[in-house]
Structure 1
């Protein structure tokens, strides 16, 4: 059996093109030729994201979510400043800030947010 070389993360949503544009803006991804409901890393490093239309709305917390890694290697106030700066950039795109998970003995702080259809993600 050949090893898996790539993955695609698929989101159920009501408006795939709108959600794809949101995530392209968040991650610096681009829409691939011929696909308004997907986005790809222009450098070929990150996974492809695909957005599929479903009739039902979101009703519970995501079991899987994306972590947008903006604070990697940072700690304390420097990390919080990076998270807050990214949050400020994403709010005008339609993201919603939910709450800050403060640092503890095991983890650094992260900021929990929602995309334009209510899917949770973290600024980490």
Structure 2
């Protein structure tokens, strides 16, 4: 889903860039009075802010995908890790394990 959303954001950014180009072409063609220039500047500022927001959303989605890829890679690494490596990870993430008289277990994590 994130890949589709990123592609949608890219399309929206392209549309905004096209609007910005059209606005610039219109302004450069001349014939604008002060009132039209003020409106054009306001529109240009709005388009720029929208474009920056879309880029920020794309970055957020991309970083989330990278985090997911890292978790998947770590899960794969865990499956292939030897006993010593798994023990070293357990020593880092587990603070202590409590075993009660009734046989129940409680793990206290360092996380």
Query: Greater helix share, 1 or 2?
Result: 2
Global fold match (TM > 0.5): no
| Larger Rg computed on CA atoms | 2
Query: Greater strand share, 1 or 2?
Result: 1
TM class, shorter-chain normalised? Answer: under 0.3
Report the TM-score, using the length of structure 1 for normalisation: 0.21
